[in-house]
Structure 1
Amino acid sequence: MLPPYWVRRLFLVPLMLVISLFAVVTSPATLLIAAIAGFAGPGRKGRLFRITALVIGYLAAEGVALFVLAYLWVAAGFGRRVREPKHERRHYVCVRTFLRWIFWLVNHVLHVQVRVEGPIPEAYRDKPLIVFSRHAGPGDSFLLVHALMNWYDREPRIVLKDTLQWDPAIDIVLNRLPTRFIRSGAPGKATIDPAAGPDAETQIGELARRLDHDDALVLFPEGGNFTQRRRARAIARLRRRGLMAEAAKAEAMRYVLPPRPGGVLAVLENAPEADVVWVAHTGTDHLLTVADVWDALPVHIDLKMRWWQVPAGSVPQDREQRIAWLYEWWRQIDGWVTENRVAEGQREVV
């Protein structure tokens, strides 16, 4: 359960600053010990050193981000003007820099390479976007937002799970930017955080309104990371609700969860002027837990992304047509993942 706002600010932020400072100060000794233990011990060589370097690098970035966010809060009149465009842009610069550092760190420490297929960045220029993405593997939301900000020069508005607010820097910056946090709960019962309003679809729709030329509304229609167990539960839930046609379509898709139309329909209704971008990716599908990541290291991961762009004028207008259109695109995304998915055993150990 997520702690209240005041607990997160009074306890989690100072705790993270202490942890970050400790990690940076002790990093030479920690990395030396990790290198010796990793290369002298059993198992794959260098695994412990790499994961230690990644953790220290992230904690260092977290600490710097918290100090920058404190400065931005003071510069915005102690938070009074934080929603003004000038100060909002400064926060986007902070997020862009943080994500650029994390992307560089992951690339060089874990040897993750990303290949992108689809329209070039110029195809998206000067038009609002709605981005619907598959959700599978660790960090795919970070990668997507990094791509939108640093490759496509976008200011994203994001719908995310509220559990990400356990991270103090993410909690602070995204609560100052256009974001909606979905409260985790029983399948099919996720809601918007009560502080933002009681109706999830209404709040998501409001987030999509008045997108300008460099905005991108980001939504993960599956509502969670893909696993085969979640897929089976989602199909069973569709059957219990009497949605037999949707359940049959979901069963035909192997590597995606059935999409939840509510949020998608709310976004399309409130941003009719925006082009729709569909995003598929594969390469980290088998990395579902921390243990999976540990067992896989060190490897070279070739992560592939595919983007499709649909002009606003080509989006269906009728509700039922939009639901069918969503499932058809999800079927296409599943087909692309099936074709491009690399089995775990074929990954190159480095």
Structure 2
Amino acid sequence: MRTKTVRVLLVEDDDGDALLVEALLEEVSAPFVLSRARTLAEAESKLSDAQCVLLDLGLPDSQGLDGLHRLLRRPNAPAVLVLTGLHDERGGIDAVAAGAEDYLVKGQVDGELLMRGIRYAVERRRAEEAQRLLREAELSAAERSRLERGLLPNPLLNDSDVQLDVRYQPGGQRMLLGGDFYDVVGMPDGTVHAIIGDVCGHGPDEAALGVCLRIAWRALVLAGEPAEKVLRTLDQVLVAERHGDGIFTTACMVTVAPDRSSARYFLAGHPEPLLMAGRQIVDLPQSKIGVPLGVLPDYAWTGVDVQLPTGWSLACYTDGLIEGRVPDDTDRLGVERLCEILDRHLRTGPDWMDSVIAEVTELNGGPLDDDVAILLLKDGK
């Protein structure tokens, strides 16, 4: 099996010692590409092309461990193998403790030992990097799981006759968690409150903000605050907690009356819900889509009242479902075409959510860019 060539950067100001290193590698026909820097500053400019650095601790612009520390602080630093003098073996031991892969004493090294030392240093750094990436992946997975529990909680619908069905699909090729959130709370008098929201952006900061808003919403609803005050308070929480001035959140908040004959919904820059009676889509009253949370201070959102037909179901969703691409069209999918897709799938049966998401994804030509969340409330009487 052919041995891979290793790119080695020798950082050595002494020409004699540099020639010795080159001769030792040639002695064993080592498959190395050797380059040289005479100062630490020169070495830093060549670092990106090296897999291993042979570092002398005594340089014109660096003495002792200072040079090692500077190299190791560089992003994606390569393996560093320290070269010490006969009377400075202690410096080599200190260098290993400071992060060098190993040290070699000048005058006590032959070609074979130097070759093995370089290969060991490169493989050890590769293994360390693999372990680091694994730890980061594990921490990321744990953080994602924690955020997901906060964004997508267990609804509080004890003994309620309203049925709930939800779907959530992270967006993007890497399927990263974004800022979509939802929650449902049933009150002692039979009223059912629901919210679905979407923090603009995609990543852990947006997800954390979504968790904050979702928890604040649940606390306000359980405290019996009126819907208008809930939205105003969520707006204040968003402004206080967001990580940038331009961050906003869209939301749709729904309240289903105890007798299940009517509902009121509020829109804060969010797509309006879809009302269905059995397998038919029902037109909702004309509504004003208010501004998103975090846009205008002291904005007053107004609710829309709707009568619920027998066998009703109400679907709230985030805009990831309507912003996918359509073949041979520069426009996004949009609400109108979503309703056409939904109408077809409703005729085939009640379990339409997965099939609708699948068709929208197929039309997009691959994973949707944004998260998709669907919250479906159904009359369980």
Q: TM-score, normalization: structure 2?
A: 0.24
TM-score in terms of structure 1 length: 0.26
Kindly name which structure, 1 or 2, has the bigger radius of gyration based on alpha carbons: 2
Structure number with higher helix proportion: 1
- Structure with the larger strand share: 2
